[in-house]
Amino acid sequence: MKFNRLGNTGLLVSQLCFGTMTFSGSGGVYQHIGNVGQAGADELVKAAVDAGINFFDTADVYSAGQSEEILGQSFRNLGIARHEYVLATKVYSRMGPGPNDVGASRGHIMNAVEASLRRLQTDYLDLYHVHATDTLTPVEETLRALDDLVRQGKVRYVGVSNWHAWRIAKALGIQARSGYAPLSTVQAYYSVAGRDVEREIVPLLAEEGLGLLVWSPLAGGLLSGKFSRDNQNPEGSRRSGFDFPVVDKERAWKVIDVLGPIAEAHGCSPARIALAWLLARPAVTSVLVGAKRLDQLRDNVAAVDVVLTHEETRQLDEVSQLPPEYPGWMVETQGADRWGAVDLWETHVAQS
């Protein structure tokens, strides 16, 4: 297992992060994702640690807090010392029927962190993410609450998930001006079937030195090897009953058509190739992998040993390439002139 810095911090995290959305799943949307109980969770957590993973991710909303409870108990059952793992969870989603049981207000954050600490059986979180955009709460209020948690020692680093690039940039500016603890990471959807994050968020993270934590690297199982253009709803697959995250299906089928032969050449699953492609992206700090069974986890972990050839990478990059979007294509066209006098119109036509 290799390790990367968590953004601009000195904390080292494994390039694979074990996600625990499959823990419990006793009702609601999570019944489509997994129903791993305590014994199964202990087995998976032990296998992850044995594979060199030191980074674990959950959220208060996963199975209404049961994922946090099971993960915290697993560490205790396995006798894993607190300093030996990096623990991340999230706040925002609805955790009760009241009007203030959801969001990124100071009130909800302060209540939610105490509940998460209790469920996880720990007195601090290594990383605390705001899970979504709160359209009602001023971002200044959210950032001040996060800074207070850092100063109180309940949280060591903070991040956000599923935010627009402009909002992340605004938050960084407020934090720098106010002396607040800065964002260290962004958790975002990214896969070879869904590269939207490359448009605005990846350039921002590179410029500011933030870490990128990838969720749903297999596009909700679409890249697992079970799906194909001719088998779009395989029985027993999570995505067959819960079509998420959103992807351009036609582009995804083309990606899957390319993944298959590459996987055959390496003697492994298409899922392993999809993960290897992500692990090689320079912006990626850690990729979240989840599992319901040991064989799934072991297959995902083996992706760290896959080295794609230049030609294999080119094929995947080409078939998954995003269509041009303004102002990106205009910036690229006009920027060509900085390297020497060119006919910008000819440059644009050639790129198109």
Residues forming beta bridges with residue 186, ordered by sequence position: 160, 212
Find, among 125, 98, 103, 130, the residue nearest to 114 by Cα.
125
E-strand ranges in the chain read 3-5, 12-14, 16-19, 55-57, 86-91, 125-130, 155-161, 183-189, 211-215, 284-289
Tokens of 201: 């968020």
List the one residue out of 116, 24, 117, 125 whose CA is nearest residue 70.
24
Q: How far apart are CA 270 and CA 262, in angstroms?
A: 8
Cα angle, residue 234 at apex, residues 231 and 237 outer, rounded to 5°:
140
Query: What CA–CA distance (Å, rounded) separates 314 from 19?
Result: 29
30 catalytic per annotation: no
How many Cα atoms sit within 13 Å of 323 on the Cβ side? 3
CA pair distance 70, 62, nearest whole angstrom: 11
Which residues are within 8 A (CB) of 67 and not within 5 positions of it... i.e. 6 or more apart? 20, 21, 23, 24, 58, 59
Active site residues: 62
